[in-house]
Structure 1
Amino acid sequence: MQGDRLKGPLLFVYGTLRPGCDEPMARWLGDAARPVGPAVAQGALYRVAAYPGFVPGGTGDVTGDLFALPDPEAVLAALDDYEECAAHFPQPHEYRRERLIVLGEHGPVEAWTYIYNRDVVGLERIESGDFLS
């Protein structure tokens, strides 16, 4: 069963796209992709506005969720528009999409995620690493 849940590319979400977040795009993602379970990435989470920004690296843990993408091109294209990092948005983008290694329930996996692409000086760090807590 777990192997079926991990077929196809994975997406790590840590903010307003997480299950339990009452946002239209979170509900859309829940329909467009298959939830895999909780995951943790190394890095820091910052409060940008009513949403967070993730910066990978360091020793902190960022809590999030994994999704398997049955139609990765369509889902990632829609999310690139949502995160305003598709090619048709003016540079510099606030986010960039990259693959990174996250720790899922059954060990490390590679997943796409959206990384905050601006300076975090002056932003409040979310010390718990969990945007929903």
Structure 2
Amino acid sequence: MPAQLLFVYGTLRPAFGRPMALWFGTVARHKGKGSAKGALYRIADYPGFVPGPNGVVAGDVFELPDPTPVLAKLDIYEECSPDFLPPHEYRREMLAVDMPDGPVQAWVYVYARPTDGLERLENGDLSA
């Protein structure tokens, strides 16, 4: 299977240093900064991304040399694997992500619940 890309915008970003981000950095190769059209919301101590035409969300793009086991583990982390009963908080989707050399298609964990009452991070960057 060819390598695939994953766009991360929250706690999986290298700057956050959480255990899952540290593991992720050992199984994926950082390709560079990226951004996706949409909005970023503060859920708790983590964000949720909702794609859409208004706004830009900053993140990092990673190459997954062996995507099947990595995505399976991340689906469990994001609680959207078949092991979790719906409704899931996130779903994994393939979306367009802008990078300095042009757009790419990448997996993104999209927030799947209503955003009413959530704080929108207007700058679209959790690390800012």
How many Å separate the matches in 2 of 1:52 and 1:43? 13
Does structure 1 residue 76 correspond to structure 2 residue 96? no
State the match for 1:85 in structure 2: 80
Give the unaligned 5+ runs of structure 2: none
How many Å separate the matches in 2 of 1:104 and 1:72? 20
SS in 2 for 1:121: coil
How many Å separate the matches in 1 of 2:125 and 2:74? 21
Q: Which runs of 4+ in 1 moved over 2 A?
A: none
Q: Aligned-pair distance for 1:23? A: 0.5
Does structure 1 residue 63 correspond to structure 2 residue 41? no
Q: Aligned-pair distance for 1:22? A: 1.9
Matching of residues 1-133 of structure 1 within 5 Å: 8-133=3-128
How many Å separate the matches in 2 of 1:20 and 1:97? 22
Q: One-letter code of the match for 1:34? A: R
SS in 2 for 1:20: helix
SS in 2 for 1:98: strand
Give the unaligned 5+ runs of structure 1: 1-6
Q: Aligned-pair distance for 1:59? A: 2.2
Give the structure-2-normalised TM-score. Answer: 0.97
Give the structure-1-normalised TM-score. Answer: 0.94
How many Å separate the matches in 1 of 2:100 and 2:84? 35
RMSD: 0.8
